Amino acid sequence: MFMFLSGNLALDFAGTVGHRDTDRQELMGTPDLLASWVTAAGLLDRPPVVGDDDYGRAVRLREAVYRLAVAPLRGRGREPGDVALVSGHAALPAVRPALVMEDTGELRLSRTGGMDEVLASIARSAAELLGGPDAARVRECASAPCTRLYVDASRGGSRRWCGMRECGNREKAASFRARHRSL
């Protein structure tokens, strides 16, 4: 249901809305879906309790992250309110990782916290990306109508699609069909 292919937690969170410019698709439309996303993203071991207020705060953070990331790609300035929102969340305590030793002696990672810590972790991810050296590597998928953002970690910085499974394959197949139609 959820895709994690952006190369950054905050961009994956922003990607819970698809086709933003055309036929907007909300993939995280309820508090329960937000709780599911949190565990699918590996932020917490168990789904958090998500109230309506938590959900509203999460959506506001998601949209601020998206606007901040996409602004330079579309030749727009960034809004100070979005910067303040992300920075405010990033300043709070994040999800708490701990090592747990199982009865077998094996170690596993445990992650605990609530929605405040989840939002802080997402905001820190956004702040570190957008304020760091990889900010120039943020791209938007070239496959219309996809609006997913990702970090282009390719050697030449030439990645065009958010992922090969969805957009890349669709674009390559369309290009193949177009070439063979013209023969």
Q: Dump pLDDT digits (tens) for 143-178.
A: 888 889 999 998 888 788 787 567 755 655 555 555
Tell me the angle at which helices 80-90 and 52-70 cross, rounded to the nearest 10 degrees: 120
Q: How far apart (Å, rounded) are the C-alpha atoms in residues 54 and 51?
A: 5
Q: Dump pLDDT digits (tens) for 26-55.
A: 999 999 999 999 999 999 999 999 999 999
Q: Dump pLDDT digits (tens) for 119-142.
A: 999 999 999 999 999 999 999 998
